[in-house]
Amino acid sequence: MTGECEKSKRLTPFQQKVFAALQRIPKGKVTTYADLSRLLKVRSPRAIGQALKTNPFAPAIPCHRVVRSDRTIGGYLGKTGGAELAQKRQQLLAEGIFFDPETQKIPEYQIIRFSSP
DNA sequence: CATGTGACGCCTG
DNA sequence: CCAGGCGCCACAT
């Protein structure tokens, strides 16, 4: 058996930085991709999403606590819809985060805004 | 080294 | 308020 099917699952330094930042988000609160990007001094919030998408430690690493700046839920486990999103909602509800019954958006006061330009 | 693809965000109309 | 368009950064090919 010499078949090397190993797919190098090691994390990039950037991902480690993002995951480290995630761990400082207290349970019961959420942050946004944009805020994380500011915190990490990255100009594109997209890069944050790219890192989170490959998070092999979810939900131990709480990537479910990251939502979009427009207060919609964002994605989970590499998907922007479907069962994965339902899981993210469930995770958030389990931590006491809930959604506006009208818009399905997360109320502003549940979002931590760390950045300050 | 060049190109394409996003779990995004902001600006305009 | 909603839709469309552009910018931006990391990563896979």
* Phi, psi of A27, rounded to the nearest 5 degrees: -60, 140
Percentage with pLDDT > 70 across chain A: 91
- A1 pLDDT more than 60: no
Residue A18 tokens read as 């993002």
The CA distance from A46 to A50, in Å, is 6
* Phi, psi of A96, rounded to the nearest 5 degrees: 90, 5
Percentage with pLDDT > 90 across chain A: 78
Mean pLDDT across chain A: 90
Spanning CA of A103 to C1' of C10, the rounded length in angstroms is 32
Give pLDDT tens digits for A4-60: 545 557 899 999 999 999 999 999 999 999 999 999 999 999 999 999 998 888 899
Give pLDDT tens digits for A6-20: 555 789 999 999 999
Q: How confident is the model at residue A113 (pLDDT cuts 50, 70, 90)?
A: confident
A14 sits within 7 Å of strand C by its CB: yes
| C1'-nearest nucleotide to the CA of A70 | B9
Q: How confident is the model at residue A115 (pLDDT cuts 50, 70, 90)?
A: low
Residue that has been written with the tokens 């950037």 in this structure: A14
